[in-house]
Protein backbone atom coordinates (compact mmCIF):
# COMPACT_ATOMS: atom_id res chain seq x y z
CA UNK A 1 0.00 0.00 0.00
CA UNK A 2 2.78 2.43 0.96
CA UNK A 3 4.79 1.42 -2.10
CA UNK A 4 1.81 2.06 -4.33
CA UNK A 5 0.98 5.40 -2.70
CA UNK A 6 4.56 6.71 -2.93
CA UNK A 7 5.72 4.92 -6.08
CA UNK A 8 8.89 4.09 -4.15
CA UNK A 9 11.29 1.49 -5.48
CA UNK A 10 12.00 -1.23 -2.94
CA UNK A 11 15.55 -2.56 -2.87
CA UNK A 12 16.55 -5.55 -0.78
CA UNK A 13 18.83 -8.55 -0.49
CA UNK A 14 18.62 -11.03 -3.35
CA UNK A 15 18.94 -13.96 -0.95
CA UNK A 16 15.80 -13.02 1.02
CA UNK A 17 12.16 -13.45 0.01
CA UNK A 18 10.73 -9.94 -0.08
CA UNK A 19 7.45 -9.82 -2.03
CA UNK A 20 7.47 -6.06 -2.73
CA UNK A 21 11.14 -5.92 -3.74
CA UNK A 22 11.86 -4.29 -7.11
CA UNK A 23 15.66 -4.56 -7.10
CA UNK A 24 17.54 -7.57 -5.73
CA UNK A 25 20.92 -6.57 -4.29
CA UNK A 26 24.03 -8.74 -4.04
CA UNK A 27 27.54 -8.26 -2.66
CA UNK A 28 29.45 -5.37 -4.28
CA UNK A 29 26.36 -3.86 -5.95
CA UNK A 30 26.34 -0.07 -5.99
CA UNK A 31 23.40 2.23 -5.49
CA UNK A 32 22.87 5.95 -5.02
CA UNK A 33 20.60 7.32 -2.29
CA UNK A 34 20.14 11.06 -1.78
CA UNK A 35 23.24 11.71 -3.84
CA UNK A 36 25.46 9.32 -1.87
CA UNK A 37 26.89 6.18 -3.45
CA UNK A 38 26.74 3.02 -1.36
CA UNK A 39 28.38 -0.36 -1.84
CA UNK A 40 26.46 -3.45 -0.74
CA UNK A 41 28.26 -5.80 1.64
CA UNK A 42 26.89 -9.31 2.07
CA UNK A 43 27.00 -9.98 5.82
CA UNK A 44 25.37 -13.34 6.53
CA UNK A 45 24.83 -14.30 10.14
CA UNK A 46 21.68 -12.67 11.50
CA UNK A 47 19.99 -14.03 8.39
CA UNK A 48 21.62 -15.80 5.47
CA UNK A 49 20.88 -12.95 3.08
CA UNK A 50 21.65 -10.02 5.37
CA UNK A 51 23.33 -7.01 3.76
CA UNK A 52 24.93 -3.76 4.90
CA UNK A 53 25.43 -0.50 3.01
CA UNK A 54 28.78 1.32 3.02
CA UNK A 55 29.43 4.85 1.77
CA UNK A 56 33.12 5.51 1.27
CA UNK A 57 34.11 9.08 2.03
CA UNK A 58 37.54 10.50 2.84
CA UNK A 59 36.32 12.35 5.94
CA UNK A 60 33.11 10.64 7.04
CA UNK A 61 32.54 7.10 5.76
CA UNK A 62 29.12 5.68 6.67
CA UNK A 63 27.98 2.12 7.38
CA UNK A 64 24.35 1.11 7.71
CA UNK A 65 24.96 -2.25 9.36
CA UNK A 66 21.42 -3.49 9.93
CA UNK A 67 21.33 -6.33 12.46
CA UNK A 68 24.97 -7.33 12.00
CA UNK A 69 27.06 -4.81 13.94
CA UNK A 70 25.49 -2.91 16.83
CA UNK A 71 26.98 -0.34 19.17
CA UNK A 72 28.95 -2.57 21.57
CA UNK A 73 27.27 -5.70 20.22
CA UNK A 74 25.96 -7.69 17.29
CA UNK A 75 22.74 -9.26 16.12
CA UNK A 76 21.38 -12.64 17.11
CA UNK A 77 21.87 -15.61 14.84
CA UNK A 78 18.49 -16.52 13.37
CA UNK A 79 19.66 -18.34 10.24
CA UNK A 80 23.43 -18.03 9.97
CA UNK A 81 26.22 -19.79 11.79
CA UNK A 82 28.64 -18.30 14.32
CA UNK A 83 31.38 -18.64 11.70
CA UNK A 84 29.37 -16.65 9.16
CA UNK A 85 28.58 -13.86 11.62
CA UNK A 86 32.17 -13.72 12.85
CA UNK A 87 33.41 -13.50 9.25
CA UNK A 88 30.87 -10.74 8.53
CA UNK A 89 32.00 -8.75 11.56
CA UNK A 90 35.64 -9.21 10.59
CA UNK A 91 34.82 -7.91 7.12
CA UNK A 92 33.18 -4.80 8.55
CA UNK A 93 36.07 -4.30 10.99
CA UNK A 94 38.39 -3.79 8.02
CA UNK A 95 36.60 -0.56 7.08
CA UNK A 96 38.28 2.72 8.14
CA UNK A 97 38.24 3.43 11.88
CA UNK A 98 36.49 6.75 11.19
CA UNK A 99 33.45 4.95 9.74
CA UNK A 100 30.21 6.08 11.41
CA UNK A 101 28.03 3.10 12.25
CA UNK A 102 24.27 3.32 11.99
CA UNK A 103 22.79 0.08 13.29
CA UNK A 104 19.19 -1.10 13.23
CA UNK A 105 18.53 -0.93 16.99
CA UNK A 106 19.51 1.16 20.01
CA UNK A 107 20.71 -1.62 22.35
CA UNK A 108 23.87 0.21 23.40
CA UNK A 109 23.25 0.27 27.13
CA UNK A 110 22.47 -3.44 27.51
CA UNK A 111 25.30 -4.29 25.11
CA UNK A 112 27.77 -2.28 27.19
CA UNK A 113 26.63 -4.01 30.38
CA UNK A 114 27.42 -7.31 28.67
CA UNK A 115 30.75 -5.96 27.38
CA UNK A 116 31.67 -4.98 30.93
CA UNK A 117 30.87 -8.51 32.14
CA UNK A 118 33.22 -9.84 29.46
CA UNK A 119 36.00 -7.32 30.16
CA UNK A 120 35.51 -5.83 33.65
CA UNK A 121 38.97 -4.18 33.55
CA UNK A 122 38.50 -2.47 30.16
CA UNK A 123 38.53 1.26 30.95
CA UNK A 124 37.20 2.19 27.50
CA UNK A 125 34.08 0.12 28.22
CA UNK A 126 33.67 1.63 31.70
CA UNK A 127 33.98 5.16 30.32
CA UNK A 128 31.58 4.48 27.45
CA UNK A 129 29.05 2.84 29.77
CA UNK A 130 29.05 5.85 32.11
CA UNK A 131 28.66 8.19 29.13
CA UNK A 132 25.73 6.22 27.66
CA UNK A 133 24.00 6.00 31.05
CA UNK A 134 24.22 9.81 31.26
CA UNK A 135 22.99 10.26 27.69
CA UNK A 136 20.03 7.94 28.19
CA UNK A 137 19.08 9.77 31.42
CA UNK A 138 18.93 12.91 29.26
CA UNK A 139 16.82 11.08 26.63
CA UNK A 140 19.70 11.27 24.15
CA UNK A 141 20.60 8.50 21.74
CA UNK A 142 23.99 6.82 21.61
CA UNK A 143 24.14 6.45 17.85
CA UNK A 144 25.88 6.64 15.52
CA UNK A 145 28.94 4.88 16.84
CA UNK A 146 32.26 4.68 15.03
CA UNK A 147 34.47 1.76 14.18
CA UNK A 148 37.45 2.89 16.28
CA UNK A 149 35.23 2.97 19.38
CA UNK A 150 33.72 -0.41 18.53
CA UNK A 151 37.17 -1.98 18.24
CA UNK A 152 37.89 -0.84 21.81
CA UNK A 153 34.53 -1.67 23.42
CA UNK A 154 32.66 -4.31 21.41
CA UNK A 155 33.49 -7.82 22.63
CA UNK A 156 32.37 -9.34 19.33
CA UNK A 157 35.12 -7.38 17.56
CA UNK A 158 37.66 -8.28 20.27
CA UNK A 159 37.79 -12.08 19.95
CA UNK A 160 41.59 -11.85 19.47
CA UNK A 161 42.07 -10.30 22.90
CA UNK A 162 43.39 -12.66 25.58
CA UNK A 163 40.98 -11.31 28.21
CA UNK A 164 37.99 -11.92 25.94
CA UNK A 165 39.12 -15.45 25.03
CA UNK A 166 39.75 -16.33 28.67
CA UNK A 167 36.26 -15.16 29.67
CA UNK A 168 34.73 -17.09 26.75
CA UNK A 169 36.67 -20.21 27.78
CA UNK A 170 35.46 -19.77 31.37
CA UNK A 171 31.83 -19.39 30.26
CA UNK A 172 31.90 -22.38 27.90
CA UNK A 173 33.92 -24.62 30.26
CA UNK A 174 36.47 -25.36 27.60
CA UNK A 175 39.10 -24.13 25.22
CA UNK A 176 37.84 -22.10 22.30
CA UNK A 177 40.42 -22.92 19.64
CA UNK A 178 39.46 -20.26 17.09
CA UNK A 179 38.19 -16.70 17.04
CA UNK A 180 34.87 -17.89 15.65
CA UNK A 181 34.59 -20.33 18.59
CA UNK A 182 35.24 -17.42 20.98
CA UNK A 183 32.56 -15.48 19.11
CA UNK A 184 30.11 -18.43 19.38
CA UNK A 185 30.71 -18.68 23.13
CA UNK A 186 30.14 -14.94 23.59
CA UNK A 187 26.99 -14.95 21.45
CA UNK A 188 25.52 -17.90 23.38
CA UNK A 189 26.26 -16.08 26.65
CA UNK A 190 24.75 -12.81 25.38
CA UNK A 191 21.59 -14.64 24.29
CA UNK A 192 20.95 -15.44 27.99
CA UNK A 193 22.45 -12.31 29.55
Condensed to tens digits (0 to 9), the pLDDT of residues 128-172 reads: 999 999 999 999 999 999 999 999 999 999 999 999 999 999 999
Residues 6+ apart with CB under 8 A from 31: 11, 23, 25, 37, 38, 40, 53
**Number of Cβ atoms within 10 Å of the Cβ of 91:** 16
* pLDDT of res. 2: 86
Question: Which among 172, 44, 78, 180 has a CA at the least distance from the CA of 118?
Answer: 172
Domain chopping of the chain, boundaries: 2-192
| Domain over 2-192 is classified CATH 3.20.20.220 | no
* pLDDT of res. 4: 87
Q: In terms of pTM, does the model score above 0.75? A: yes
Mean pLDDT for 168-177 is: 91
- In this predicted structure, the answer to whether residue 3 has a pLDDT above a threshold of 90 is no
**Number of Cβ atoms within 10 Å of the Cβ of 16:** 15
Condensed to tens digits (0 to 9), the pLDDT of residues 111-139 reads: 999 999 999 999 999 999 999 999 999 99
Mean pLDDT for 5-21 is: 93
Condensed to tens digits (0 to 9), the pLDDT of residues 21-78 reads: 999 999 999 999 999 999 999 999 999 999 999 999 989 999 999 999 999 999 999 9
**Number of Cβ atoms within 10 Å of the Cβ of 155:** 30
* pLDDT of res. 1: 81
The count of residues in the chain is: 193
* DSSP assignment letter at 46: S
* pLDDT of res. 22: 95
Rounded to 10°, the helix 179-192/162-172 angle is 60
Instruction: Tell me the percentage of the chain whose pLDDT exceeds 70.
Output: 100
* pLDDT of res. 66: 97
Amino acid sequence: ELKQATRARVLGPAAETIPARDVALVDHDRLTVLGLEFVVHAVPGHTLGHIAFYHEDATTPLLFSGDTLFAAGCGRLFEGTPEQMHDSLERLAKLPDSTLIYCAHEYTLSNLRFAQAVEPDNQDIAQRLAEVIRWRSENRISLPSNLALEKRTNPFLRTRETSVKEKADERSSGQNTSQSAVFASLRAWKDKF
